[in-house]
Amino acid sequence: MSKNKFNKDWLQDHLNDPYVKMAQREGYRARAAFKLKEIDEQDHLIKPGMVIVDLGSAPGSWSQYARNRLTDLGKKNAEIADGKPDGTVIAIDLLPMDPVADVLFIQGDFREDSVFQELEMALPGGASPDLRRVHLVLSDMAPNLSGVAVADAARMGHLAELALEFAQKHLTPEGALLIKCFHGSGYSQIVESFKKVFKVVAPRKPKASRDRSAETFLLGRFLKTV
């Protein structure tokens, strides 16, 4: 198949995709919002008062969904101002991201000490390490794929490792980490890494994730005590 034919087929599929149409209708920046929505509805991830960190957040659809969900929960709390979320969402990415209402965005590489410190200080209780607690870490990060399976698996594994390290350091004992990964080389190693850290580890393949895609999501819940 020629590259032009492939691009045309992809564009046609994209334009006809019901989740793309739903995203446009509901004001989401990407259809990925519905992947998180399905997993949240299945696993009841987002709860009132949560601190949520969205790693690799651009273009922002996961942050949008998290903010909207917390806002819906805020409507049930008389102490929360009308239209405000009952909780905190902090997003971070190397790439720029258009503002999302009530979401704090940090542009930078959180592997760099200065950016990591900025992220830590942005957390509620940031000046006090013992009070810096996160309830949910989200990561829809994916590397630029080269098509070389071994290299791509290594890149994906590295991103998973970064998210896992951040979660280990900052999650509450009952907290959760949700990441994107791909079936294939390296996937089983990521699962094993999760099992060393979390009491409950479960793969998730929401309907909004295309059947032909190797994309899957891995959910870890409840930190194991050291």
Residue 93 assigned as binding residue: yes
196 catalytic per annotation: no
Q: Which of 3, 180, 205, 224 is catalytic?
A: 180
- 60 marked as binding residue: yes
Coil, strand or helix at 28: coil
Residue 151's contacts (CB-CB under 8 Å, 6 or more residues apart) are: none
Question: Is position 9 annotated in a ligand binding site?
Answer: no
Q: What is the 3-state secondary structure (H, E, C) of 152-177?
A: HHHHHHHHHHHHHHHHHHHEEEEEEE
Q: Which residues contact 129 (CB under 8 A, 6 or more apart)?
A: 120
User: Which run of H or of E encompasses 55?
Assistant: strand 50-55
- CA angle (96 as vertex; 168, 70 as ends), nearest 5: 55
Distance of CA 89 to the CA centre of its chain: 11
For residue 140, say whether it is annotated as part of any ligand binding site: yes
Evaluated on CA atoms 133, 206, 150, 195, the torsion sign reads positive
Q: Which residues are documented as binding site?
A: 60, 62, 93, 109, 140
Binding positions for S-adenosyl-L-methionine? 60, 62, 93, 109, 140
Provide the annotated active-site residues. Answer: 180
